[in-house]
Amino acid sequence: MHSEQPLLAVHNLTHLYAPGKGFEAVSFDLFPGEVLGIVGESGSGKTTLLRSLSARLAPQQGHILYAQRDLYALSESERRRLLRTEWGVVHQHPLDGLRAQVTAGGNIGERLMAVGHRHYGDIRAQASHWLQEVEIAANRIDDLPTTFSGGMQQRLQIARNLVTQPELIFMDEPTGGLDVSVQARLLDLLRTLVRELNLAVIIVTHDLGVARLLAHRLLVMKEGRVVESGLTDRVLDDPHHPYTQLLVSSVLN
């Protein structure tokens, strides 16, 4: 069961950049090995919330404690270091999270160098291992990401994030823009990696199918507020809030 302390504790987080734009009064705890899904339609504030949770947008109110440290009391360089080492961010558009003019192996190796690895042979061996972990042939190690398909770029971005064995991964619509068969393989891969590495994950998605497959718990957002939260199966099979009922029924129709 849960360890005593949450990995991430969020209290009354608020960031409004215009009336009804952004999010307000969001609170939750996230434990090691747990996947939290944040769902809602476009404009519900979920991506802005993810940016704030992942140290890329200071909230106007509230606190985030990561491993019992106040995230926004840390210096900017300390927060940047977290993003390079103990955390990972998987962007919806994979090239936002990759360096297009650096080889596949180099993209993975950069993260290792950020945590102090210096031995070229070791870095290359780990890059090769992680390419294979995400189902990319090791002989593509010297190819540029721009020569990869969208699904392969997304898997490379995941490998780049996981090579430092982070505690916490933030994902923004990781299957968006991929065709259905590629999505299914990527979701299978993510489920396996999350379980094997005991990762804590916060995933933003508008796709309730993705949420059901990956998330243990859900927050449902509407116009910047959390209108419902709970275990994923409970929220999707027995939604209480009219907005959640609408979301679920629109998927079923």
Q: What is the pLDDT of residues 233-249, one digit of tens each?
A: 999 999 999 999 999 99
Whether 239 and 142 map to the same domain: the answer is: no
Domain end marker among 121, 144, 165: 165
Burial of residue 162 (CB within 10 Å: 0-12, 13-18, 19+) is buried
Residue-level pLDDT at 86: 92
What is the rounded average pLDDT for all residues in the chain? 92
- What gap in Å lies between CA 144 and CA 158, rounded to an integer? 16
Domain end marker among 165, 192, 213: 165
Whether 51 and 82 map to the same domain: the answer is: yes
Residue type, 234: R
pLDDT tens per residue, range 147-191: 999 999 999 999 999 999 899 999 999 988 788 888 888 899 899
Whether 184 and 237 map to the same domain: the answer is: yes
CATH of the domain at 3: 3.40.50.300
Residue-level pLDDT at 2: 56
DSSP string computed for 80-120: HHHHHTTEEEE-SSGGGSS-TTS-HHHHHHHHHHHTT---H
pLDDT tens per residue, range 120-152: 899 999 999 999 999 999 999 999 999 999 999
Q: What average pLDDT score do residues 28-45 get?
A: 94
Whether 145 and 246 map to the same domain: the answer is: no
Whether 79 and 28 map to the same domain: the answer is: yes
Domains of the chain: total: 2
For residue 237, tell me if it sits in a domain: yes
Domain range for residue 225?
A: 1-86+167-253
Task: Determine the 3-state secondary structure of 121 from DSSP.
Answer: helix
- What gap in Å lies between CA 62 and CA 11, rounded to an integer? 5
Whether 65 and 28 map to the same domain: the answer is: yes
Whether 72 and 177 map to the same domain: the answer is: yes
Q: Provide the pLDDT confidence category of residue 199 given band limits of 50, 70 and 90.
A: very high
Residue-level pLDDT at 3: 52
Whether 127 and 78 map to the same domain: the answer is: no
Q: What is the Cα gyration radius of the chain?
A: 18
For residue 17, tell me if it sits in a domain: yes
For residue 91, tell me if it sits in a domain: no
Residue-level pLDDT at 204: 96
Domain end marker among 120, 135, 165: 165
Whether 158 and 183 map to the same domain: the answer is: no
Q: What average pLDDT score do residues 81-93 get?
A: 92
Whether 82 and 171 map to the same domain: the answer is: yes
Q: How many CB atoms lie within 10 A of CB 19?
A: 7
Whether 50 and 127 map to the same domain: the answer is: no
Tokens of 192: 């396996």
pLDDT tens per residue, range 204-229: 999 999 999 999 999 999 999 999 99
- What gap in Å lies between CA 192 and CA 197, rounded to an integer? 8
Strands (E) located in the chain:
8-18, 21-30, 35-39, 61-66, 69-70, 87-90, 168-172, 200-205, 217-222, 225-231
- pTM metric for this prediction: 0.93
- What gap in Å lies between CA 110 and CA 129, rounded to an integer? 15
Is the pLDDT confidence value at 115 over 90?
no
Q: Provide the pLDDT confidence category of residue 252 given band limits of 50, 70 and 90.
A: low
For residue 242, tell me if it sits in a domain: yes
For residue 16, tell me if it sits in a domain: yes
For residue 145, tell me if it sits in a domain: yes
Whether 139 and 252 map to the same domain: the answer is: no
- What gap in Å lies between CA 110 and CA 232, rounded to an integer? 36
Q: Return the bridge partners of 220, or none.
A: 39, 228
